[in-house]
Amino acid sequence: MGTITMSYTSFVWVYVLLLAVLSVFAYCHIPKSLAIIVASLRMTAQLIVAGYVLLYVFQYPHWYFNVLYLCLMGGYCIYRVIHKNLWMPRVLRWLTGLSILGSVVLIILFMLYIVIEKSFLNPQFMIPISGMLVGSTLTGTMLGLKTFREQTQARRAQILVLMNMGARPRKIMAPFVSTAIESALLPIINNMVSMGIISMPGMMTGQILAGAMPNEAVLYQISIIIAQCTAVALSTFLLLHIGSQLLWNRQLQWTLD
């Protein structure tokens, strides 16, 4: 099986598909046409720049390039989570960064050295795996925090009643934490159920297009999905399980408005 290449002339034709999206938006009076155009152009620019950066990194591999790239991905992920959850107090923001980076780095090292048996210094494996794990952790953490915030706001009266009855903070928060973690993992679980029958996963498709045998691509895809699930579970558990206890003062009073 040979590698499939695409010319720039052929690539440009893919943007014709956006006309269908814009047509749907226009027909349904959805005021997001400019947003989809800007998002597409931004995505194109970012990926082209990333492609040339990775080309240089792959040609001149050094450990500090890998660390820098991971820090950039992790830093942007943390920024996005915090920026979308400005309600979080400072201590919870620090915990967000530690839980995301800690979980992702741990799973990356496990995947590289135990599962794939490649060095952290190998950018061909380290950077794509890091990107997929960071991306899924971003989505999962955002969903978990959103669910946690909505649930605690909707049931604030219940929290105050339980607090006045003398219930411990950990016991009060346990149902909210469990619901939030379930919400964070739901997209990955749904993907697991449909993969191989309804959908063909991105990493597996990419490897097959690059010339890998399908049976080999399957092993990598399964490994990555399980790694993503684990990273999301660990990051959201650490953040919400510990963070929910930090939302109480020394008098065991709920501090989140």
- List, in sequence order, the alpha helices (H) in 60-168: 63-83, 90-110, 123-154, 156-164
User: Domain check: are 76 and 35 in the same one?
Assistant: no
List pLDDT tens digits, range 83-120: 988 888 888 899 999 999 999 999 989 988 888 888 87
pLDDT of the residue at 8? 74
User: Domain check: are 101 and 188 in the same one?
Assistant: yes
Q: Which residue has the higher pLDDT, 64 or 207?
A: 64
Least confident span in 45-49, 134-138, 218-222: 218-222
Does residue 254 sit within a domain? no
Asked whether residue 237 carries a pLDDT value surpassing 80, the answer given is: yes
pLDDT of the residue at 193? 79
Asked whether residue 1 carries a pLDDT value surpassing 60, the answer given is: no
Decide which of 60, 78, 108 is a domain's last residue.
60
Decide which of 60, 80, 99 is a domain's last residue.
60
User: Domain check: are 48 and 103 in the same one?
Assistant: no
User: Domain check: are 175 and 52 in the same one?
Assistant: no
User: Domain check: are 164 and 235 in the same one?
Assistant: yes
Cβ density class 142-164: b for 16+ within 10 Å, e for less:
bbbbebbbebbeeeeeebeebbe
pLDDT of the residue at 190? 83
User: Domain check: are 35 and 98 in the same one?
Assistant: no
Beta-carbon contacts of 162 under 8 Å, excluding residues fewer than 6 positions away, are 171, 172
Q: Which residues pair with 254 in a beta bridge?
A: 248
Task: Give the mean pLDDT of the chain.
Answer: 82
What are 124's two structure tokens? Answer: 């061909």
User: Domain check: are 68 and 5 in the same one?
Assistant: no
Does residue 3 sit within a domain? yes
Does residue 212 sit within a domain? yes
pLDDT of the residue at 142? 92
Q: Which residue has the higher pLDDT, 190 or 196?
A: 190
pLDDT of the residue at 141? 92
pLDDT of the residue at 59? 80
Is the CB of residue 242 less than 8 Å from the CB of residue 95?
Answer: yes
User: Domain check: are 163 and 103 in the same one?
Assistant: yes
List pLDDT tens digits, range 175-184: 888 999 999 9
Structural domain count of the chain: 2
Does residue 257 sit within a domain? no
Owning domain of residue 28: 1-60
User: Domain check: are 191 and 159 in the same one?
Assistant: yes
